[in-house]
Amino acid sequence: MAKVSWPLKLRLAPVAVALALMAGCVPQQQGGRGTHRPAGNQPARTNALSVGVRPGPELSSLGLSDAMARGAILAFRESCPKLVVRNDVSGLTRGNDWREACDAVTRWPITEAASFFTTRFETAIVGTGELNATGYYEPEIAGSRNWSPDYAVPVYRQPPDLVHARPGDAPVKSNGQTPFGRYDEFGRFVPYYSRAEIENGVLDGRGLEIAWVADPVEFFFLQIQGSGRLRLPDGTVMRIGYAAENGQPYTGIGTIMNKRGLVGSGPGQYPASMQGLMRYIRDYPEEGRALMRENKSWIFFRELIGSGPIGALGVPVHGNVTVAADPLFVPLGAPVFLAPDPALAGAVLARGLWVAQDTGGAIKGPNRFDTFWGSGDQARLVAGGMKARGQAIVLLPRGSLSRLGAK
């Protein structure tokens, strides 16, 4: 029985541990989403060079301390094996630009973390540098490895017929890959089944379930993040992570609710936060189901063996350290200093040095970041309400800007 069960009144998952849900990031999900268009001439892709790059303020003027940099130096060290071999589509770095910093970080004392960044890097402003930051975290929801009336929402692995388009059958996406979809009986590449079709049981009877969860609303928000933890009936935890997506366009339901006047501070409106969106869906289950189905994207999962979620760079993500960024504007693996307006809520928490180790379907454009806060009640609270504005500063290996001709 694989069809999603929608009771008349949705109920919270019956679990007495901290739940963690994500508000803005789709770590790839690590792969981004796009619409399907006929193959043919493709427009030039925008990247950091097309919006302009200029030198930023000196790190020493930003108040960078060893305590602030300690988590970042460890994350940068962990990212280096991927960073030095990754093709930087942003255009900001090339070849062996990162090699010297990555060689140095292996022997740099953690107690002097700030000096590593101030001596090995220069700062850059991409485009306007106007920061737009949200938050995400690792959700934990009630689940089971076996179906029961209390666990009736399927968690699917990647279906065998969900494949990347062959070269020439669909345009290449910004991450260099062709989109996900399927080949129909006539051999044509078409979009994979939508969220509504999957919830209505199109994948029934194919043995694709790796687990079952109790609450479709909680699962929807877990899908937005792309990874999470399932608290099983015996108290153990099963970690699941992104395996693939259906290739359908990602639509943020918060944007839809805002356009319809459902969020705000007025009478009958809901807070513009993850918690507010969930409350609306639970207050109006039929409308909520229809709203979630407007996001046609569906995420397929695999079981993760290990201690934490893996980001798009292929290394573990870390709370208060990892940010998701658009790799067309920020090299994955690069340090980033976020300087939010101190008058805004969450600004004190978001200010500091982060490392771009993830991407997201909703994280598009220059200076758009999603800050990762780990798991637990506090992480859920911070991430769900995080919305920071200010300045974003990208750290590049010294000499990068002069080669780019940035002034």
Kindly report the CATH number assigned to the domain that includes residue 170: 2.40.240.50
The 10s digit of each residue's pLDDT in 6-42 is 332 222 222 222 222 233 333 333 333 222 222 233 3
pTM for this predicted structure? 0.72
In this predicted structure, the answer to whether residue 374 has a pLDDT above a threshold of 70 is: yes
- Same structural domain for residues 211 and 345? no
Domain that includes residue 203, residue range: 1-43+140-252+295-305
pLDDT of residue 307: 65
In this predicted structure, the answer to whether residue 324 has a pLDDT above a threshold of 90 is: yes
Q: Identify whether 70 is part of a domain.
A: yes
- Same structural domain for residues 300 and 338? no
352: left (phi over 0), alpha (psi -120 to 50) or beta: left
The 10s digit of each residue's pLDDT in 185-218 is 999 999 999 999 999 999 999 999 999 999 999 9
Would you call 398 helix, strand, or coil by DSSP? coil
Among 305, 332, 367, give the residue marking a domain's end.
305
Q: Identify whether 406 is part of a domain.
A: no
- Same structural domain for residues 240 and 149? yes
- Same structural domain for residues 368 and 248? no
pLDDT of residue 40: 33
- Same structural domain for residues 161 and 183? yes
- Same structural domain for residues 154 and 205? yes
- Same structural domain for residues 68 and 177? no
Q: How confident is the model at residue 346 (pLDDT cuts 50, 70, 90)?
A: low
- Same structural domain for residues 215 and 246? yes
- Same structural domain for residues 106 and 214? no
Q: Which of 290, 214, 299 is nearest to 253 (CA)?
A: 290
In this predicted structure, the answer to whether residue 51 has a pLDDT above a threshold of 60 is: yes
- Same structural domain for residues 98 and 165? no
Comparing 268 with 1, which gets the higher pLDDT? Answer: 268
- Same structural domain for residues 144 and 117? no
Q: What span, in angstroms and rounded, lies between the C-alpha atoms of 227 and 303?
A: 10
- Same structural domain for residues 17 and 111? no
Q: What span, in angstroms and rounded, lies between the C-alpha atoms of 289 and 61?
A: 49
Cβ distance 374 to 98 under 8 Å?
Answer: no
**In the chain, how many domains are there?**
2
Please state, rounded to an integer, the average pLDDT across all residues of the chain.
86
